[in-house]
Amino acid sequence: MRRSPSKDDSESSPQESVRRRSSVLEERELEEIERTWPNGLTSRQIVDVFETRGIRFSEATLRKYVQLGLLPRSVRVGRKGKHRGSCGVYPSHVIRRVNAVKGMMAEDRTIEEIQKSFVRFKDDIDTVEKDLRELITSIERESKGPSLDPDGRRELERDITEAKRAAGELVKRISSLERRISNRAAEGSAGGTAVGSGHDLY
């Protein structure tokens, strides 16, 4: 099922049309976002990333993506300070996933095709990322114990920071491999029966 052109489509400028067809965010923008939020983003921050760049996105749409299995669920993270509670944080690579979904919608992919493009190794990658995060957090907690001298603690903190960066880069590279494989699989199944329009995900 293909969506008929809407008013928004017909009134968009040629530059906006090209941007929709290719990718919502460019690679340099994605890299900048990942550098800015290496430890993840809240749902509000994810929405702001797109809205501040003039791209339509909402928290309701974000929840729909999670329900459809296109994005991982958020992880509860404690806030600094007394009585601050916790908030849900998504890994920074969800920006790339939202970007990829929007790119596929611009190509009139069906919901089923879009889901297939993420399903192959997604759960395994999410598990690896979660385990790495928990492991580094445990090491970080242990490093703050009283047994270390100040110099040793500073060196350990530097190494932990580097480990976080390396872990993030590993997940990013594995996710990139998964996307390349999944996109080829989705292209191969593009001739199947379209049950739902990908534009239903807007």
pLDDT per residue as tens digits for the range 79-122: 555 445 567 899 888 898 898 888 888 888 888 888 877 766 66
Ranges 31-35, 76-80, 92-96, 148-152: which has the least confidence: 76-80
Q: Is the pLDDT of residue 8 over 70?
A: no
Dihedral angle of Cα 153, 154, 157, 158, to the nearest 10 degrees: -140
The answer to whether residue 32 sits within a structural domain is yes
Decide: 197 and 107 in contact? Cβ < 8 Å. no
Domain that residue 136 falls in: 110-192
Same domain, 30 and 95: yes
Same domain, 117 and 142: yes
Would you state the pLDDT for residue 86?
61
User: Residue 183: which pLDDT band, with cuts at 50, 70 and 90?
Assistant: low
The answer to whether residue 81 sits within a structural domain is yes
Residues, the chain, total? 202
Answer yes or no: pTM beyond 0.75.
no
Would you state the pLDDT for residue 1?
41
Would you state the pLDDT for residue 57?
93
Would you state the pLDDT for residue 187?
54
Name the average pLDDT for the chain: 75
Comparing CA positions, the residue from 129, 51, 30, 45 lying closest to residue 89 is 45
H helices of 52-197, in order, are 59-67, 94-106, 111-119, 122-143, 150-188
Mark 24-53 as b/e (b = at least 16 C-beta within 10 Å): bbeeeebeebbeebeebbbbebbbebbeee
Q: Is the pLDDT of residue 24 over 90?
A: no
The answer to whether residue 198 sits within a structural domain is no
User: Residue 45: which pLDDT band, with cuts at 50, 70 and 90?
Assistant: very high
The residue from 68, 85, 108 where one domain ends is 108
What are the strands, taking DSSP E only, across 5-90? Answer: 75-78, 86-89
The DSSP 8-state label assigned to residue 74 in this structure reads: P
The residue from 108, 133, 158 where one domain ends is 108
Could you give the CA distance from residue 114 to residue 70 in angstroms, rounded to a whole number?
8
Same domain, 25 and 99: yes
Would you state the pLDDT for residue 154?
85
